[in-house]
Amino acid sequence: MKHYAILLIIALWLPIDSYCQEKPADSSSWGIVSLCCAHMRSEPRHGSEMVSQAIMGTPVQILSDTSEWSLIVTPEGYRGWMHHLSITPRTNGEMQAWRESYRYIFTAMQGYIYDSCNGDESRPVSDLVLGCILQSTGKRINGYIEAYTPDGRIGYVRQSEVSDFYAWAHTAPDVERLQKEAVMMTGSTYLWGGTSVKGVDCSGLTRMLYFSQGIILQRDASQQANTGEVLDTVYAPGVYQKGDLLFFGNSKGRINHVVIYLEDGKYIQCAGRVKTNSLRPADAAFEDKKILAARRIVTATGTPGITRVAEHPWYF
């Protein structure tokens, strides 16, 4: 028994990058998240800590199973336990078919897939958030597109709220759009482990917003701080650009917080709630914090920890 326990411990501590760009050989080791926002927990039980989330249409690798839970890895290499009801299992062949299928990505902040395209008479099939991925027949009716969830629920989404997944993934990041979506999150509740518009933590906010631009970041602030183009940590006009990540920490220099730079010294963060603060002492929203690290993401796509969705083999 000790031998098996040691093997399990070793497996759980493998570097996250060892999974990030691999396609599993086991035909039963794939899954696709089938809920709008599925929780990832530190242990296989509902009462354990929520360490992260994965949204509908996220491909995951399944490492092991219990009677109700699966230990999964997300595309950025993050691990956690997810309940079976949140995942639709896929074989290698089914995953390849999914990668080659006609898909749409939900680009509105929040919405629904409906049971019909009859306007006010329609009822929700599922809620959706920014970044959810749906398969589709491509059929269009009265401003709606026929689509279906990973677990096969068929419905209709508003054409104005989705984009062709292939075209979206191959479009260059737009920091203006990122800033707009960041500001639209203002007032949203802090949620430990949250990565969607329903609730985020600090690094969940940055990851969610960059995914909306087709870029997969690492999950935690301390991980994100080790990626990207290195910038000066002393603020001055012109040093930072829209979308840059700034990192704060404790008195010992340990990074535990990340924010997104906007413009004119202002940045947006999730601390209690999503809000805008300033690096300039003269501003009312100034916070006296020391920048421990600063990184530019858009100039570093394709480097370790910053992956374009279009270049990730789990999606294409």
pLDDT tens-place string over residues 132-169 = 999 999 999 999 999 999 999 999 999 999 999 999 99
Task: Answer whether 2-98 and 101-169 agree in fold.
Answer: yes
Assign 3-state DSSP to the chain and report helix, strand, coil percentages, each to 5. Answer: 20, 35, 45
Residue 12 scores a pLDDT above 50: no
Q: What is the pLDDT of residues 78-118, one digit of tens each?
A: 999 999 999 999 999 999 999 999 999 999 999 999 999 99
Q: Give me the helices (H) in the chain, please.
A: 2-12, 17-20, 92-99, 165-169, 175-184, 202-211, 221-224
Global pTM value:
0.91
Q: Is 215 exposed, middle or buried (0-12, 13-18, 19+ CB in 10 A)?
A: buried
Can you name the CATH fold of 101-169?
A: SH3 type barrels. (2.30.30)
Q: What is the pLDDT of residues 302-313, one digit of tens each?
A: 999 999 999 999
Residue 1 scores a pLDDT above 70: no
Looking at residue 19, the DSSP 8-state letter turns out to be H
CB 130 within 8 A of CB 181: yes
- Domain 2-98 is in which class? mainly beta
Q: Is 9 exposed, middle or buried (0-12, 13-18, 19+ CB in 10 A)?
A: exposed
Pairing of strands 266-271, 162-164: unpaired
Q: Where are the domains of the chain?
A: 2-98, 101-169, 175-311
CB 195 within 8 A of CB 281: no
CB 114 within 8 A of CB 123: yes
CA 173 – CA 171 distance, rounded (Å): 6
The residue assigned the tokens 């990832």 is 40
Q: With respect to CATH, is domain 175-311 assigned 3.90.1720.10? A: yes
